[in-house]
Structure 1
């Protein structure tokens, strides 16, 4: 999903936003021939994501900058650990610094939080997945970070799968349409490679949805007791996904109800960026 071409498009836009007419400070204070050596260093422990994205910020600013990664995406790291080394023209290195850090800090924050969710459900068989609650324009980067943390990705976009949510079902009800028949009709329109998921928020909706022939049923905002009951009713006839107000404190109990998948928007929409820093030394031209 995260190709070099996609990285370059996103990073180039960020660089253009940050320095549309160059870096006025660097040009005013730094000699044109000054050289910088820098280290991308962790200020706290976490899981790395976005090392290639950070590298692209330097590469696209000046191709002569050399970036040497000392850790890979998905690696755990400790406070004080050097994650990458950067060398090149001082003006270019410092111009790219903030964009490189912004991406690496946010992506590593997502990977670190995802790893905590994954660890919390260890041994249950439940998988942790993200949602479409991502930063506009940054979905591919943020979802890559989820995978770096050990999670899996939900549908990437509205084009990638059929997922009928509460508002879709409300439209059906307003039209007096039968839920089971509506699902069967939708199934007939779909190709054999397309999965069909339906969200329910009440126990009594489960059987009519299953009768329509779904692949995945989402139990939204169910209590723990109702999740257990829902899993029992489904009885392996569909993949069971739990969603709604999933937190690091609750995810373990949710997993132990027997659901197959737990989706959480918090992985991307409420994450704290990790504290990473760039320690640079500027010297005369080499």
Structure 2
């Protein structure tokens, strides 16, 4: 995804999130805060971790009030400690209050994901293997969750169903076999979507042999295989496709998978098991 595409998607996300939250007005603020009152607030860090979402917070405030003053003290990806201040914003008080919850929800979630991701990434220092995320994301919040994964030091897998062909077990079974599914996908790419990459999930070493022999996939997923089986699979593939280990991999066993030399390890837990971190936006 290009920076321009990300910015466009982020703008849409912010618009929809504010519609959901504000509705016909922030009546809590409208009833007691003068429309012309100016205010200042700071983002206070209350928990250690990896900071994520500062640039998103800036976009939220600037989208609501283009002339808001936004001063950054800590950047996305930096280690954060309790008591530090990430940024300061000066704007209409009503707008600060309108944006508060969206900013906190985004940054707390993103920082939790970035922090957990960084733990996985640190585990694999010294190995060539890279960590991938998955599509196990929160509906309508995937943009920021995947951004947080990158901030934490890992690599994004496909964003959605549109930017890569990924033939999983159900595709293969419904289609009638792994070779048939690969052949159909390859023909589809040639005639309908040139340049679209094809990945295929394999469940056995025989699947690996069949998929490799086609020469039509750029990556082979090795699903729910032991490190020993993956080592055998890598010998069969012999560098003719990228390789991805997936299924049942966690912090306690991930190094044994990386030691096989597999190119990527995909971990859905980066997102769906991450816990939001504690941050607060306070008036000053």
TM (norm. structure 1) is 0.89
Taking the aligned partners of 1:172 and 1:65, their CA distance within structure 2 comes to 55
Indicate whether 1:194 and 2:193 are aligned: no
> Could you tell me whether the CA contact under 8 Å between 1:134 and 1:268 is conserved in 2?
yes
Contact kept, 8 Å, 2:121 with 2:154, in 1: the verdict is yes
Aligned residues of 1:216 and 1:240 also touching (Cα < 8 A): yes
State the shift of 1:237 in Å: 2.2
Query: What aligned pairs does 1:79-118 form with structure 2 within 5 A after superposition?
Result: 79-118=82-121
Identify the residue that residue 209 of structure 1 maps to in structure 2. Answer: 211
Instruction: Tell me how far 1:4 sits from its aligned partner.
Output: 2.7
Instruction: Give, in whole Å, the separation in 2 of the partners of 1:241 and 1:114.
Output: 17
- Quote the offset at 1:188 in angstroms: 4.1
The aligned residue for residue 179 of structure 2 is: 180
Aligned to 1:226: 229
Greater mean deviation of Cα atoms: 122-131 or 77-86: 77-86
CA contact (8 A) 1:219 1:227 kept: yes
C-alpha distance in 1 between matches for 2:278 and 2:256: 30
Contact 1:180/1:211, CA 8 A, preserved across alignment: no
TM-aligned CA distance change 1:65 to 1:217, over 3 Å: same
1:250 alignment counterpart: 253
| CA-to-aligned-CA distance 1:35-58 (integer Å, 9 cap, x gap) | 322111211122222212212222
- Specify the alignment match of 2:56 in structure 1: 53
Query: Contact (CA 8 Å) 1:37, 1:280: kept in 2 or not?
Result: yes
Uncovered stretches (5+) of structure 2, i.e. residues with no partner: none
Q: Which residue pairs with 1:284 in the alignment?
A: none
Aligned to 1:261: 264
Deviating beyond 6 angstroms after TM superposition, the runs of 4 or more aligned structure 1 residues are none
Shift of residue 113, structure 1, vs aligned partner:
1.3
Partner residue in 1 for 2:151: 148
**How far is the alpha carbon of 1:168 from its aligned partner?**
1.4
What secondary structure is seen at the aligned counterpart in 1 of 2:31?
Answer: helix
Q: What's the RMSD between the two structures over aligned residues?
A: 2.0
SS of equivalent to 1:132: coil
Calculate the TM-score normalised by the size of structure 2: 0.90
For the residues of structure 1 that align with 2:189 and 2:67, how far apart are their CA atoms? 50
- Helix, strand or coil for the counterpart of 1:273? coil
Secondary structure in 2 matching 1:163:
strand
Q: Deviations over 1:184-218 (max 9, x none)?
A: 45334424633221101122221111111122110
| Matching residue of 1:5 | 8
Q: What displacement does 1:182 show?
A: 4.6
User: Which consecutive unaligned segments of at least 5 residues does structure 1 have?
Assistant: 282-286
**Corresponding residue of 1:235:** 238
Q: CA deviation at 1:165?
A: 0.6
Any idea what SS the aligned residue of 1:159 has?
A: coil
